[in-house]
Amino acid sequence: MIRPATSEDGEAVTSLAFRSKAGWGYPEEMMAVFREELRISGEQLVEQDGHVAEREGAIVGFYTLAPQSAEEVELGALFVDPGHLRQGIGSALLEHAMSLARSREFKRMTMVSDPHAAEFYEAKGAVVVGEHPTRFTGRVLPILEISL
């Protein structure tokens, strides 16, 4: 089940995002930075049009959307709990986000992706349109776009 996030979901999605990012095996010095970057309050989650996927009453994934213009919306986050990967949750969340964006008449969705997740978005029809620098030397994040 995918539902709109509530302000009470902030702590759960922050923890989930961190576990998900840690699943890629990043070194601790990077995880310390990610810990701050991935923190999302309940209020921010609601403001950023967050939606959560639940299974048996537990949050197993979430996404956020942020309008960038009349035609473009950014998928600000999409994370799935590591224990629930490869079960269709990420695909369901992305499809839900795309459907919601279409219903609001956006024409394209962009995302700044972790390099490990870029292949997932490309398999769903997204194309790399640029790179986003990070504070880590030599590390850039792909910027992807998908037509709605």
Task: Give the pTM.
Answer: 0.90
Looking at residue 131, its amino acid is: E
Round the average pLDDT of the chain to a whole number and report it. Answer: 92
Lowest mean pLDDT among 11-15, 35-39, 60-64: 35-39
pLDDT > 90 fraction of the chain, expressed in percent and rounded: 74
Residue written as token pair 């979901």: 9
Quick check: 28 pLDDT over 80?
A: yes
> What is the per-residue pLDDT for 77?
93
Quick check: 73 pLDDT over 80?
A: yes
**C-alpha distances in Å from residue 2, one per residue of 53, 104, 108:** 4, 18, 22
Return the H-helix or E-strand segment holding 95. Answer: helix 89-103
Spatial separation of the C-alpha atoms in residues 125 and 26, rounded to whole Å: 27
* pLDDT, tens digit, 9 for 90 and up, residues 76-94: 999 999 989 889 999 999 9
Residues 58-66, mean pLDDT to the nearest whole number: 96
Sequence-separated (6 or more) residues with CB below 8 Å from residue 75? 63, 64, 65, 94, 97, 109, 110, 111
* pLDDT, tens digit, 9 for 90 and up, residues 104-146: 999 999 999 988 899 999 999 999 999 998 887 778 999 999 9
Residue written as token pair 């990420």: 90
- Decide if 63 contacts 93 (C-beta within 8 A): yes
Q: Which of 57, 42, 52 shows the shortest CA–CA distance to 79?
A: 52
